Amino acid sequence: MNILNIVLTLSSVSFLFYGINCLFSRKMKYEFTRFGLENQRVMTGYFQLFGALGLGIGYFFFPLLTFISSVGLTILMFSGFAVRIKIKDNISQSLPSLMFALLNLFISIEYYYLLF
């Protein structure tokens, strides 16, 4: 298993978990209220789930779907990082969104070169 497959698996499993939590967890409801984005929580949860499924399904059947999903998750996580900076969260609260943005950016770049 190479580094791309490890990163892709990590991202897919993580976003599946976070998407479900975003939809059903009381803590995530509180967090989105704290962010001032309570109306975007459900949509964000679905984006995370669709992104996770897109990474996995694309890996096995349709690589372009992996590319599209990783670009979407990159944008979602850079946006999440910007929100955390805006509300002045500390580095330990902000770092996960930045790391997932960079991991998905890596996947995007690798799949771009694979496809095009």
Sequence ranges of the domains in the chain: 3-115
For position 25, what pLDDT does the model report?
Answer: 97
Nearest to 36 by CA among 73, 90, 71, 82: 82
For position 1, what pLDDT does the model report?
Answer: 73
Q: Cα 81–45–78 angle (5° rounding)?
A: 20
Q: Give CA–CA dist 96/77, Å, rounded.
A: 9
Instruction: Convert 78-94 to b/e letters by CB count within 10 Å (16 or more is b).
Output: bebbebbeeeebeeeeb
- Show pLDDT as tens, one digit a residue, over the chain (116 residues): 799 999 999 999 999 999 999 999 999 999 999 999 999 999 999 999 999 999 999 999 999 999 999 999 999 999 999 999 999 999 999 999 999 999 999 999 999 999 99
For position 64, what pLDDT does the model report?
Answer: 98
Q: Are 29 and 38 in contact (CB under 8 A)?
A: yes
Predicted TM-score (pTM) of the model is 0.95
